[in-house]
Amino acid sequence: MHPKPLAIAIYTDIGRGHPSYLDSVLQSLRWHHKDLFQQIELTSVFEMSSGLSLSAWKAVHAAYRIGSRGGLISRLYSGFRSSQSEFNPNSAVVRILQRDLLTRLSDYKGICIVAHPLLANMLKKKHRVFYVHGEISAPPESAVRDIERIYVPLGMTAEKMKSYGVDPEYIVKTGLVIEPMILNDLSGVIFDRQMRLDTREMKPTVGFAISGAYPRAHVRYMTEAALSLLEYGCRVRFFWGSNITEADRLETELRKAEVEVVITSVPYDPVHFDRAVLITAQREIETTISTKYIPQLDLLVAAPHERNNWAVGAGLPIAALTPTIGSFAPENLKYILERGCGFAVSTDEPASKLVTQIIQLTKTGKLVDMVRSGTTMKNIKGAKRIADDIAEKLQA
């Protein structure tokens, strides 16, 4: 640990959603409060743990990967998570997981910034905890009581937290937490997307964003749907995370279908891109690369998790994959459908059906309607709102 940092940002580095929200907040702090950002230590549960505690965190990571892959295991995992929604500090598992964290932070008096409810609950008894809950959805296990700050994006999220017994005094409504880089020239990006889709006869460019657990059903569906879209004449972009094995598998499938694919971990020229581009990189680098490609995308295919915010507030329609996996996804999907900025597609149906849907939505103008529906959210600068609030508290 740095000598007496003003704050410590602690990642779980499990999945993409929770860490990405913390990335966005820290990026905003780096941009808008540079001097204060220099006094914040960045770490993770894996860096702070060793021995049995580290093994326990690795087991949690493995459980997430296995439990989020769909099917019976996913249903059992989701049921277990919801049944464990009440944090139990006396559980043997919690004691092992938090052992090294609490030891390392035993004399620390500053602010702990986290984006996972488990960490917030572990630290709240002896530390100042600022918890970033970036999801629209708020299942019971996301609630944390008796902490100094819980940041939530929307009023409906706040109401859910209150219903679980979270004191309204500690809830701060921030607006959507969207990656700050995506907000650069967003109005121009949205205008260009509307103009493209208004032609009705154009062939959309479609992005496929895999979740951190690489659910087998999603990988299969996305691969088959992408091949159908390529055959129709569309261009596709794969945002495929940092798992090289998974990237190799996808590349193999594409090349077997005689698809020429560019594989990159750096921003490839987004204007003159080839028919298929496969992006594989660590989370923060992938986010940076995404900002180069999102302006050229007309539709995103993804599970209804953290990338929902791109549909709801950044005007990028989403084809949300079902059946939903995990406890956050159902409410996120419901919100997307209610706002009209996306539609549901079932991975149980033939992937070729998605092409038919996209063609129909484009020709009828409904896809451009989804773009407009995803631009009515007034407050989409939640990351900056949180960064400003943290900066104010650090200077108090």
Domain housing 125: 7-178+381-395
In this prediction, residue 86 carries a pLDDT of 56
Residue 2 within any structural domain of the chain: no
Instruction: Quick: pLDDT tens for 80-123.
Output: 344 445 567 778 888 999 999 999 999 999 999 999 999 999 99
Please, are residues 47 and 53 in contact by the beta-carbon 8 Å criterion? no
232 and 123 within one domain: no
Edge-first strand listing for the sheet containing 7-11: 40-44, 7-11, 111-114, 128-132, 149-152, 171-173
Q: Which of 314, 361, 322, 363 is CA-nearest to residue 345? A: 322
The per-residue pLDDT for range 242-283, each reduced to its tens digit, is 899 999 999 999 999 999 898 888 776 665 667 899 999 888
- Residue 320 is which amino acid? A
pLDDT attached to residue 291: 85
Q: Tell me, what's the pLDDT at 76?
A: 37
Residues 220 and 326 in one domain: yes
pLDDT-based confidence at residue 178 (cuts at 50, 70, 90)? very high
Residue 60, domain member (yes or no): yes
- pLDDT at residue 288 in the model: 86
Mean pLDDT of 304-329: 93
Q: pLDDT digit string (tens) for 190-237? A: 999 999 999 888 899 999 999 888 999 999 999 999 999 999 999 999
How far apart are the C-alpha atoms of 269 and 15, rounded to whole Å? 28
359 plus 391 within the same structural domain: no
CA dist 326 and 139 (Å) reads: 10
Question: What are the helix (H) ranges across the chain?
Answer: 17-32, 34-37, 45-48, 51-67, 71-83, 92-104, 117-123, 155-163, 186-197, 216-232, 244-256, 283-293, 308-313, 329-339, 352-363, 366-373, 382-395
Mean pLDDT of 33-53: 95
Q: Quick check: 74 pLDDT over 60? A: no
The pLDDT of residue 17 is above 70: yes
Do 173 and 233 lie in a common domain? no
Asked if residue 207 and residue 124 are part of one domain, the reply reads: no
Please state the rounded mean pLDDT for residues 62-69.
Answer: 62
Q: Please indicate, yes or no, whether residues 237 and 88 belong to a single structural domain of this protein.
A: no
The percentage of residues in the chain with a pLDDT greater than 90, rounded to a whole number, is 72
Report the CATH number at residue 301.
Answer: 3.40.50.2000
pLDDT of residue 75: 44
pLDDT of residue 11: 95
> What strand order describes the sheet that includes 205-209?
261-264, 276-279, 235-239, 205-209, 299-302, 318-322, 342-346
Same domain for 194 and 301: yes
* Domain presence at residue 268: yes
**Per-residue pLDDT tens for 281-296?**
888 888 888 888 899 9
Alpha-carbon distance of 204 to 298, in angstroms, equals 6
Length, in residues, of the chain: 396
Q: Can you tell me the distance from the alpha carbon of 371 to that of 389, in angstroms, rounded to the nearest whole number?
A: 31
Residues 302 and 390 in one domain: no
Share of the chain above pLDDT 70, in %: 91
Cα separation, 199 vs 182, in Å, equals 25
Contact 69, 216 (CB under 8 A): yes
Q: Read off the CATH number of the domain in which 171 is found.
A: 3.40.50
* Domain total in the chain: 2
Tell me, what's the pLDDT at 87?
A: 67
Average pLDDT value for the chain? 89
pLDDT on residue 269: 65
| Same domain, yes or no: 200 and 174 | no
Q: What is the pLDDT of residue 13?
A: 84
pLDDT: which is higher, 171 or 91: 171
- pLDDT for 264 equals 86
The whole-number average pLDDT for the span 124-144 is: 94
With 0-12 / 13-18 / 19 or more C-beta atoms within 10 angstroms meaning exposed / middle / buried, residue 32 is: middle
What CA–CA distance (Å, rounded) separates 153 from 44? 24
Return d(Cα 332, Cα 328) in angstroms, integer. 7
Evaluate whether 7 touches 132 at the Cβ level (below 8 Å): no
Q: Can you tell me whether residue 14 is helix, strand or coil?
A: coil
Instruction: Identify whether residues 213 and 69 lie together within a single domain.
Output: no
* Helix 216-232 vs helix 352-363: crossing angle, to nearest 10: 60
Asked whether residue 277 falls in the same domain as residue 305, the answer is yes
Residue 66's pLDDT band, with cuts at 50, 70 and 90, is: low
Same domain as 245, residue 130: no
The model's pTM is 0.91
Question: Does 289 reside within a domain?
Answer: yes
User: Cα(364)–Cα(381) distance, rounded to whole angstroms?
Assistant: 32
